[in-house]
Amino acid sequence: MTETTQPFKAEIKQLLNILIHSLYQDKEIFLRELISNASDALTRMRFEMLTNSDVYQPEAELAIHLEADKEANTLVIKDSGIGMTAEELAASLGTIAQSGAREFLAKLEEGQAVPNDIIGNFGVGFYSVFMVADEVKVISRSYKPDAEAAQWVSDGGETYVVSEAVKEDRGTEIHITLKKDATEFAEEHKLREVIRKHSNYVSFPIMLGEDQANSQESLWRKMPSDVTEEERNSFYQQMTMDFEAPLADVHFSADSPVNLRALLFIPSKREKTMFALRKEPGVKLYTNNVLIKEYSTDLLPDWLNFVDGVVDSENLPLNVSRETVQNNRLMRQLAKVVKKRVLRTITRLDDETFAKFWKEYGRVLKEGMAVDPTAKDDIVPLLKFVSSKSEGKLTSLKDYVGRMPEDQEKIYYVLGSDVSSVAFSPHLDPFKAKGYEVLYFVDPIDAFLVTSWTEFNEKQLQNVDEAELDVDEPEEPEASDASEKAINLFIGRAVKTLGEKVTEVRLSKVLRDSPIRLVAPENGASPSGFDRIQLLMNQDYEVPQRVMEVNKSHPIVVNVAQMLEGDETKTEKADLIIEQLYESALVQEGLHPNPASMIPRIQKLLELATA
């Protein structure tokens, strides 16, 4: 054939400008694109040889070779793939876009489109090479036995040249004369770095000189049963530089409703170390073993952003630069499958591992539920709490409901600052008497959750600090050793001492082991959950007014009442005790703004007790 110079279509120059200057955020992307094209050519060749024995050089190794010449400032990329004829070179490399290109450019000029709107039907990944190239020469020989070699040459200008070439072996080689500001791509160490980052798991050998630059073996594309725990942990450590083994891994493949392979990890710690390679949230997204996105946040919700690893799908639609996956139905299906598998893995963790997981990520899940109400159905089954019957261990709501007595209709919880304080909450008295279990909500964010989360499995959640409880026992409390007059003196003294801190002081119908409890008044005052939120957020917090309920049979109440009855002038000691009872209750409720302020009073009480 004779040498022919052919013009690009009128819009090609403009498209090249967009591709080179607008779409690709990093020049090294060109190498990923060319290796990806080479891998595609090798895949097509492998498929052709399954059904056709009449091919040129059937014994040729399927591989990719890179040759860098620092002195000449050149780079050559070769493959032994399916190759192209002169006509195919002109058709494939002479036309970037089909009929949609001109329409797109018109919209771009009118401001109705942006460069990143170009979708991957234009087939322009190859042209990213002009980000780094002064000139590109493509020499190719088709797999067809009688085909002749041909070459395509362009400097990214208005024309390209197609001519005969001399090439003895099958496949395609791309000769790149690098620009002066791209000399780094003639350095072997830079090429290894880019290959390792973007193309490490291409399924064909990528040879750099005599050495293979990619690992080639993609653990996530192997059957989970064929990968050992040691291999998975080693891969995780190589990817993250986290030298602690992950808490769990999620290794699976699926062909329906979407094709995907995944190997994901739950790190042992939420906080990244100073040596961590991956400091941003998101998983690595591959298609056909080629890295598309280093940190993809589209596959998992924010409340699972601690998950790390790889997702690989063969049929993802990509934009022209492969840097952004289209937000379409397929991506949504992919995300749905990935999330489901991660949640399944978390629910199947053994108790010891889940306790470690909950310590690191429990609050992350709760924050997700507080921020995204639509996540409630996914997150609630994962929630676990210590309870009045769990002996310090975590229990799920499902297990709690399974233990409920037949006469218990609601799920009860108590809000507080920590397990040790709520375990002695006076609100638990009637529940202990009835044998009802109470969940301990002691994480600061729990107060936020209960403002919108009100039921589980059609059973209502109820705070035990409410004034009227459906566990109130109808019989009268135990008889008091103090007279009615003495108890009235105690109540009167409490009203005078506490003043506007309480709306009422009254006898309790439910207290058994505690001297007092504070409950929300029945006049519509905010529940303790809102008060706790206000305290945590420090929004002009004021200690809320509460009703003080008094246990007339408790020794402290009896002793103070009898002391007042015997000598009504002993008000100083009585006042100190009443104030301390009140503030101790605030501490148990998690509503005291400054518990240290109680120390002088406690010391004064000790002084009086030892006088």
The model's pLDDT over 426-482, given as tens digits with 9 standing for 90+, comes to 999 889 888 999 999 999 889 888 888 999 999 999 998 875 666 655 455 567 788
CATH number of 219-349: 3.30.230.80
Other C-beta atoms lying within 10 Å of the C-beta of residue 294 = 14
Residues of the chain falling short of pLDDT 50:
97-100, 115-123, 320-321, 474
Helices 571-589, 599-610: axis angle to 10 degrees equals 140
Question: In this structure, what token pair is assigned to residue 502?
Answer: 């309480």
CB distance 188 to 126 below 8 Å: no
pLDDT of residue 117: 44
CB distance 198 to 290 below 8 Å: yes
pLDDT of residue 474: 45
CATH number of 4-212: 3.30.565.10
Tell me which H or E stretch contains 589: helix 571-589
Q: What is the dihedral of CA 111, 113, 115, 116, to 10 degrees?
A: 150
CATH class, range 484-524+543-610: mainly alpha
The 3-state DSSP class for residue 137 equals: strand
Distance CA(485)–CA(562), nearest Å, equals 9
Query: What CATH architecture is 353-463?
Result: 3-Layer(aba) Sandwich (3.40)
Strand order in the sheet with 411-415: 438-441, 411-415, 459-463, 455-456
pLDDT of residue 5: 87
Q: Most distant CA pair in the chain: distance in Å?
A: 124
pLDDT of residue 124: 59
Q: Where does residue 389 fall: left (phi above 0), alpha (psi -120 to 50 degrees), or beta otherwise?
A: alpha
Q: Domain locations in the chain?
A: 4-212, 219-349, 353-463, 484-524+543-610
Which tens digits make up the pLDDT trace of 257-304?
Answer: 888 999 999 999 998 877 677 888 999 998 878 888 889 999 999 999
CB distance 401 to 456 below 8 Å: yes
Distance CA(296)–CA(444), nearest Å, equals 31
